[in-house]
Structure 1
Amino acid sequence: MALSNDNRIGRHAILLLLSEDSVGQLKKLEQSNWKGCTGKVGSMEAHKVVAAIETAAKKNGIIQSNVYRESHALYHAIIEALHGVTRGQVQLGSVLRTVGLSFAILRGNPYDSELEGDWIAVSLYGTIGAPVKGSEHETIGLGINHI
């Protein structure tokens, strides 16, 4: 049940997110039967961030929308990543904060044994701050959940 060094899903999700060549990075990961995508979202409302990431995951075939456990696993990975971005308080507009984020979603099996099944990782990177241009700073978050 050891984690494979080459398949650390969180590491790959962050590298995909920060890569200058995300298309090339995705092609390499897909050769290992992993699925992924990248995107961007900006909002003062956390539910809009969640919705954008869920929509991207469904559109890109990373999760099946008619399988509850897949949507549920993705939701928990998103919320965990948002905890990192918001420093533990998943609040944005209600406390006058806004985010501008890039995201990466990655699905695959990070273990040596195929019996462990798929996991999903969501990585977020961008800015957070008051809704005034120039009043933001960098932020990053990572969430990982089993499917």
Structure 2
Amino acid sequence: MVLALERRIGKYAVLLSMSTEKDEFIFTLPEHWGTCVGKVGSMDSQKVVAAIETAAKREGIIKSDGYRETHALYHAIMDALSGVTRGQVQLGSVMRTVGLRFAVVRGNPYEEVEEGDWIAVALYGTIGAPVRGSEHETIGLGINHI
């Protein structure tokens, strides 16, 4: 099993999450990979999970029916949220709020086709007290096999 340098799924997800509509992409995704991007702001981690899951289903990144793909996405989201919240996946209950851009990327990062698809979720934005100006930058990445 060889991880192909030009197929770093996490790198693509992070770059997409940090990009804005004004940015020009300096990379091309490998063929047959799927992506979606969006924004979410909340004091409730459940709302963050729901927004990402809804976007991934709406854009056809994962299937709406069935459990396996949703489960893989959920674990990638939770890993990314853990990075954003520094291991304590709590927001409103500890008086924190987030404003995040997210990117979901699905594809096979390996040279061998039989390794199958993986999913990466990157979150980039701000976290802090629910008072404007009290936030700082944060980033998280989660990658899971499907």
TM above 0.5, yes or no, is: yes
- Offset, 1:65: 1.4
1:1-40 alignment, distance < 5 Å: 1-20=1-20, 25=25, 28-29=28-29, 32-40=31-39
Cross-structure match for 1:146: 145
| 2:35 alignment partner AA | G
- Offset, 1:23: 9.1
| 1:86 alignment partner AA | T
| 1:71 alignment partner AA | T
Structure that is richer in helix per residue: 1
| 1:111 alignment partner AA | Y
Q: Aligned to 2:28, what secondary structure does the other structure show?
A: helix
Cross-structure match for 2:110: 111
Closer, same or farther: CA 106–79 of 1 in aligned 2, 3 Å:
same
Cross-structure match for 1:66: 65
Structure 2 residue 76 is matched with structure 1 residue 80 = no
Does the CA-based 8 Å contact 1:16-1:22 persist in structure 2? no
Structure 2 residue 76 is matched with structure 1 residue 55 = no
Gaps of 5+ in 2: none
1:99-138 alignment, distance < 5 Å: 99-138=98-137
Q: Aligned to 1:28, what secondary structure does the other structure show?
A: coil
CA distance in 2, matches of 1:100, 1:139: 10
- Offset, 1:67: 2.1
Gaps of 5+ in 1: none
Runs of 4+ aligned structure 1 residues displaced above 2 Å come to 19-25
- Offset, 1:20: 4.0
Alignment RMSD (CA, Å): 1.6
- Offset, 1:19: 2.6
CA distance in 1, matches of 2:22, 2:37: 8
Fraction of identical pairs, as percent: 68
With structure 2 as the length reference, what TM-score do the two structures score? 0.94
